[in-house]
Amino acid sequence: MPMKHLSGSIIFVTVVLLCLFSLGCESEMKDPKGTLEKQAKQYWTERLINRNFEITYKEEDTENLPTFSTYREQLRNVTPFPTSSVEVKEVKVDGDLATVKLLVDCLVPGAPKGLLMPLGDHWILKGNKWKHKRQLKNPEKK
């Protein structure tokens, strides 16, 4: 009787460990293009329409990422016109890198209707998650 109980316990522990291990391992993203299309639309909606920079900050690639307060001030300065909509036009995935083309409808003061502006965007796949690649206006030359 004790031997049956012991082998049952070993099997149970093994199954639990395998389940935990499989949850901890990153599986390959099933639809990188579709996932990025949704993520990019959400990112730019938060950034340009909702102006929720806390959400977009978490989506940024950490390479050369400034503090949140600096990031927020930079974004406030580069988005002078209100935006009414963001539409993803194209997503190109090449391995861990991707390019997203968007169309942004800006509300320009004095204009009878919005101004449609194209926007190009770069993303990188890190840890099975898409991260937005910030483009620096004056990158330091190395």
Distance of alpha carbon 111 from alpha carbon 105, whole angstroms: 12
Residue 115 phi/psi, 5-degree rounding, is: -105, 120
Is 87 within a domain?
yes
**C-alpha of 122 from chain center:** 10
Tell me if 98 sits within 8 A of 73, measured CB to CB: no
**pLDDT score, position 50:** 93
DSSP state, 64?
A: T
Q: What is the pLDDT along the chain (142 residues), one digit of tens a residue?
A: 555 555 555 555 444 444 434 444 445 778 999 999 999 999 999 999 999 999 999 999 999 899 999 999 999 887 767 899 999 999 999 999 999 999 999 988 888 788 899 999 999 999 999 999 987 554 444 3
Distance of alpha carbon 67 from alpha carbon 51, whole angstroms: 17
Indicate the number of domains in the chain: 1
Is 115 within a domain?
yes
**pLDDT score, position 35:** 96
Question: By three-state DSSP, how is residue 17 classified?
Answer: helix
Q: Which neighbouring-strand residues pair with 87?
A: 103
Which range marks the domain in which residue 50 is found? 31-132
**pLDDT score, position 107:** 85
Is 142 within a domain?
no
**pLDDT score, position 110:** 81
Element (H, E) at 12: helix 2-24
Residue 79's CATH number: 3.10.450.100
Is 7 within a domain?
no
Residue 133 phi/psi, 5-degree rounding, is: -95, 110
Q: Could you tell me how many residues make up the chain?
A: 142
The per-residue pLDDT for range 46-86, each reduced to its tens digit, is 999 999 999 999 999 999 899 999 999 999 887 767 899 99
Is 138 within a domain?
no
Question: By three-state DSSP, how is residue 121 classified?
Answer: strand
pTM (predicted TM-score): 0.74
Is 140 within a domain?
no
